Amino acid sequence: MNLKFLRDNPEQARRILELRKCAFDLDGLLELDERRRSLSTERDELRHRQKQMSAQVAKAKQEGQDAAGLMDQAKELSAKVKELDAKVSEVEQAQEERARMLPNIVHESVNEEDVVVSEWGQKPEFGFKPLAHWDLGEALDILDFKASAQLAGSRFTVFKGAGALLRRAMLAYFLDLHTKEHGYTEVGLPVLANRESMEGAGQLPHMEGENYAMRDDPLYLIPTSETPLANLHRGQTLEASDLPKKYVAYTLCFRREAGSYGKDVRGMIRVHQFDKVELFRYVEPDKSYDALEEMLKEAEAAVKGLGIPYRVKRLAAWDIAYQSAKTYDIDAWAAGVGRWLEISSVSNCEDYQMRRNRTRLRLAGGKTGYPHALNGSGLALQRTFVALIENNQQEDGSVLIPEVLRPYMNGLERIS
């Protein structure tokens, strides 16, 4: 939500905040805005007079007249302008700070509760008790949680041997699928981002404690490649003819998981460092909701390819990220832990990020507006890995490799 929207539709804004269950002092912000506008108008008027005065001084000097009197008056005005200017910046800054904490609007199709919109595949049946991935992984010697704990602490993972190969194969499969079948351009990105990038994508300031910050440099480990991808064209004005821009990136992602003590502590369902292939699109505003549906299908294609049963949820208003106006989640069924795991989140952020980082779009009449930005996981590796090995485990303890991955694994058909 931007200020103009707030000013023009305060009631709608209030409703959105309610839906999101977001405590935000809307009136306080609007008051600040009111104050800012009146102060800056006053300041501009004074400055106008001061400029006229300066012009008179210049003229007088040119004509060889004494300008001392004029200069004294101008000096006085100048001091007043300076004073007011300081006030204006103060209010501006306060307002900006608050406005940065505003979430995006919520699309009208979003409900107050999560809604499962589709389901695909069959949950596997076993004639034995399926193992959770931590047991299965250690038994097959493809995951080593003792080693990761020793290296970095809890919530990290060490992949070994065929496990490491499977990880690499899955990432390559995702990237190939999206570049070859779905027309995305692959980019390789930094996993460190500066403050501007973090704020531009909407991760900061409101997720402040959720990111790893560097001690010696003002940089953050990215929580998702959405962060750099949303900033790829920061400060630029894109031409409509350049759109859509479709990027896919594999990066590591880092999250402190600060608020999740005691949740998912075992295995690699919730880890501090994970792998993700991310889809990102810059599109014209009137095409963004079609693009959202397309991206959902693209993410689904990746899950289907692996043969993992899943469901698609349309998230409730209170459940979607700050920067998103509408989000679908894809949950994969993981038979070992017996749970649905979120492996993809596909969001239309509309112009929220583009406004924040000033990525503009030249419109038909030569005017400028903002493109819409969408992102979607395609897919998050660790949880997909979990679902895959848990679902594909056999009575003899081995794990079947899906067809699509075999070419990436030197033809390997099963891990045993």
Partner RNA sequence: GGAGAGGUGGCCGAGUGGUCGAAGGCGACCGCUUGCUAAGCGGUUAUGCGGGUAAUACCGUAUCAUGGGUUCGAAUCCCAUCCUCUCCGCCA
Residues composing the chain: 416
- Select 90 or 293, whichever has its Cβ closest to RNA: 90
- Select 238 or 321, whichever has its Cβ closest to RNA: 238
Alpha carbons 391 and 131: distance in angstroms, whole number: 9
Alpha carbons 72 and 92: distance in angstroms, whole number: 30
Residue written as tokens 């699928």?
A: 177
Residue written as tokens 């949740």?
A: 263
Q: Do residues 178 and 248 make contact, with C-beta atoms less than 8 angstroms apart? A: yes
Q: Do residues 110 and 103 make contact, with C-beta atoms less than 8 angstroms apart? A: no
Q: How far is the CB of 412 from RNA (least distance, A)?
A: 29
Q: Which sign does the torsion angle of CA 82, 83, 84, 86 carry?
A: positive
Q: Which residues pair with 250 in a beta bridge?
A: 277
Residue-wise DSSP of 253-264: EE---TT-TTSS
Q: Where are the beta strands (DSSP E) in 228-308?
A: 237-239, 245-254, 273-283
- Select 3 or 404, whichever has its Cβ closest to RNA: 3
Q: How far is the CB of 74 from RNA (least distance, A)?
A: 3
Q: Do residues 122 and 131 make contact, with C-beta atoms less than 8 angstroms apart? A: no
Q: Please state the separation of Cα 152 from the chain's center in Å.
A: 26
- Select 62 or 122, whichever has its Cβ closest to RNA: 62
- Select 153 or 218, whichever has its Cβ closest to RNA: 218
Q: How far is the CB of 82 from RNA (least distance, A)?
A: 7
Q: Which residues pair with 118 in a beta bridge?
A: 312
- Select 190 or 407, whichever has its Cβ closest to RNA: 190
- Select 188 or 366, whichever has its Cβ closest to RNA: 366
Q: At what angle do helices 26-62 and 68-99 cross, to 10 degrees?
A: 160
- Select 71 or 232, whichever has its Cβ closest to RNA: 71
- Select 219 or 316, whichever has its Cβ closest to RNA: 219
Residue written as tokens 């402190």?
A: 256
Q: How far is the CB of 6 from RNA (least distance, A)?
A: 11
How far are the Cα atoms of 138, 157, 273, 307 from residue 154, in angstroms, in the given order? 16, 9, 11, 30
Q: Which sign does the torsion angle of CA 192, 195, 196, 197 carry?
A: positive
Q: How far is the CB of 14 from RNA (least distance, A)?
A: 20
* Residues of the shown chain interacting with RNA in the complex, contacts defined by CB under 7 A: 3-4, 37, 40-41, 44-45, 47-48, 50-51, 53-55, 57-59, 61-62, 71, 74-75, 77-78, 89, 237, 366-368
Q: How far is the CB of 78 from RNA (least distance, A)?
A: 4
Q: How far is the CB of 62 from RNA (least distance, A)?
A: 5
Q: How far is the CB of 84 from RNA (least distance, A)?
A: 11
Alpha carbons 247 and 256: distance in angstroms, whole number: 26
- Select 95 or 327, whichever has its Cβ closest to RNA: 95
Alpha carbons 182 and 175: distance in angstroms, whole number: 10
Q: How far is the CB of 373 from RNA (least distance, A)?
A: 18
How are beta strands 192-194 and 219-221 bridged, if at all?
Answer: antiparallel
Residue written as tokens 């991935």?
A: 133
Q: How far is the CB of 366 from RNA (least distance, A)?
A: 7
Burial track 108-132 (b if 16+ CB lie within 10 A, e otherwise): eebeeeeeeeeeebeeeeeeeebbb
Q: Do residues 273 and 222 make contact, with C-beta atoms less than 8 angstroms apart? A: no
